Every structure is written in C-alpha cells, then in structure tokens.
Structure 1
Amino acid sequence: MKKLALALILLTALTGCWPKTFMSPIDTSMPEDWKKFYITPLELSAATAPSNYPANLSESLRSGIQNNTRLKLASGLEDAQVKISGIVSGYNTSPIAIQQGDLAAKNRLTVSVNFTIITPSKGLEKMEFTSSRFADYESNEQLVDVETRLLESINQQVVQDVINKLLSNW
C-alpha cells in the first residue's frame, strides 16, 4: 500500500512539471504568416553539369522542405509566401589526396548553387546565398558510374542548407 501511495504522489508531482505541448524548433522558427512555398525551376549555368540536374535538385528541395518544415507546396508563385529560385553555377571535379607519383587517391565532385529567397516578412525581404557542397569518390571509379549516388548525397546537403536558411532568423 505504501508503494502505491508513493507511486501516486510521484506521478502527480511529475505530471505537474510535464510540458503540456511539445513544440519543435520548426514550429517557432519561421514567421506565422509563412504557410506555402514555391520553387521556380532552377537554372543551369554550369557547363559540365548534367542537363537534368536542376530538375532533380528542384524535386529534392520540394520534398525536403515539405517533409522537414511546416511549409506546404503552393500551386503557383502567387500563392506562396516563400519564393525560392536558384542557379546551378558550379559543377566540377578535382583530385584530392595526392599520393606518390602525383596520382590522386580520391576525386571530389563539387556543386555550387546560388539561391534567392524572397519572403513577405517586414515588407519584401530578399536573401541571396550560395550553397557549395561536395562528395568524394575513389580515383579508380569513373564519375559516370558514381555520379547518381554522389548527387543524391550533395542534394541532401544543399536541401539542408536551404532549410537552415528558412529556419534562421534572417
């Protein structure tokens, strides 16, 4: 009986301190008036990038923002409070980890995207930033054989950069 009484007292004390609601940083980091976002088709100015890369990155951005923020995809640019546009400005490979005989042990694929985000907060605010991300691969591998896997990794990083900008108090 003493154990039951002690358990009830402990349970009552703990429930008084228990938070009534759980709020993630996502819920509080963006202004309340941001409900929907729209991504204009990304442009391509990097000559060596695959022609379908901007479309793939745009889709990754749409999915990532919808799944990791409270923003919903707008049906058109006019319906959106957050407007995102961008240009794939860099796409190159370079040798890294040089070993004996000036041979590269690894190569690095680097992608750079210049983004512009326009929001209605405090008038029209415009933020421009560049996300430059990379993924490494072994020098005995051909880029065409690993490019899809590398771009998936890079896309995840770029999407996270955009989400971080949306959640920051800029």
Structure 2
Amino acid sequence: MKDLKLIIVLGLIISVTSCGIYSFTGADTGNAKTFQVNFFQNNAQLIEPGLDIDFTNALQDLVQNQTNLNLVTDSGDLIFEGEITEYRIAPMTATAQNTAAQNRLTMAVNVRYFNSLDEEKDFEQRFTFFFDYPADVQLSSVKSEAHEVLFERITQDIFNTSLANW
C-alpha cells in the first residue's frame, strides 16, 4: 500500500514538473521576470484628455493581472510601447431623413513589443476596435462605457499577440 502511494506521488510530481509552469491565461512569459509599459501618447487628430494615461494604465493592469511579471519603469524583460493613432467618431447608419441613427467611436493603437530575452518575438502592429452608440446620445454620456469596451478589447488583443501561446 505504501509503495502504491509513493508511485502515485512520484507520478504526479513528474507529470507536473515535466509540463513546466502552467498559466491559466495561456501566457508564455518564458524566463521573463519583469515588464514595462511606456507611455502611449495620443497622436490622434481628435484629442481626448486623459485617454493616453488611461490606456497605458489599462495595459499595465491587464499584464499584471494575467501574469506573474513585475512592473518596472525601465530595463524590463518585456517592453510595450507605442501611440494612440486614431480616435474618431463617424456616423454609421442613416435614417430615412438622412440623419445618423448610430455613431461609431473607433480607437487604434500602434504597438511595438520588445522581448529582450527572445528577439524573435518582437513585433510592431496596429490594434483597433470600435464602440457603437445611438446618434441621439452625446459621447460624453457613454464615454466611460465606450473606453471600458475599447480598452478591454484592444489590451486583450495586445496581450494575446505578445504573450498568449495559443
């Protein structure tokens, strides 16, 4: 009976250690211990005050929450940087009276990702998403919800492209 317990315990230890450390988010951070997110400046034609710092913080929060990496301000093993390149509102659907029935807020971010431990994983890519809202509603009244949706989708896409190994 003791031998059976010993074999089961050894089998579990071997199977767990042979698979390496597993992340439930699917993040592949390799041997990285730290990451940094440089300030994402808003270079869009339409400047929304605070959008740049809010987006930068959202990306930092997502990486911190989904990995065990430590946030640093310089010399990170993994570095995210870039700029907000688009933030615009456009009419999407029209009514019979030729007025907008729905508006679309679009946000795009250009991201440069550097992995100092594995340069083959470096990339530069544009990420974009949109939020639709009724034309009779002012953006200011849905801005919080819109930013939450935009940030969640764009930061998750950045995370998946840089760290998810799916």
TM over 0.5: yes
Q: CA RMSD in A?
A: 2.8
Q: CA deviation at 1:71?
A: 2.0
Larger of the two Rg values belongs to structure: 1
Q: Is 2:26–2:164's contact at 8 Å kept on the other side of the alignment?
A: no
Q: CA deviation at 1:167?
A: 2.1
The answer to whether structure 1 residue 86 and structure 2 residue 100 are counterparts is no
Tell me the residue number matched to 1:157: 153
Q: CA deviation at 1:44?
A: 1.4
The answer to whether structure 1 residue 45 and structure 2 residue 43 are counterparts is yes
The letter of the residue matching 1:136 is D
The letter of the residue matching 2:29 is M
Q: Is 1:27–1:70's contact at 8 Å kept on the other side of the alignment?
A: no
Q: Is 1:118–1:124's contact at 8 Å kept on the other side of the alignment?
A: no
The answer to whether structure 1 residue 77 and structure 2 residue 77 are counterparts is no
TM value normalised by structure 2: 0.80
Q: CA deviation at 1:137?
A: 0.7
Distance 1:102 1:27, change over 3 A: closer
User: 2 CA distance for matches of 1:39 and 1:88?
Assistant: 14
TM value normalised by structure 1: 0.78
User: 1 CA distance for matches of 2:12 and 2:93?
Assistant: 52
The letter of the residue matching 1:34 is A
User: 1 CA distance for matches of 2:98 and 2:143?
Assistant: 24
**Structure 2 gaps, min length 5:** none
User: 2 CA distance for matches of 1:70 and 1:27?
Assistant: 12
The answer to whether structure 1 residue 140 and structure 2 residue 139 are counterparts is no
Aligned residues: 154
The letter of the residue matching 1:145 is S
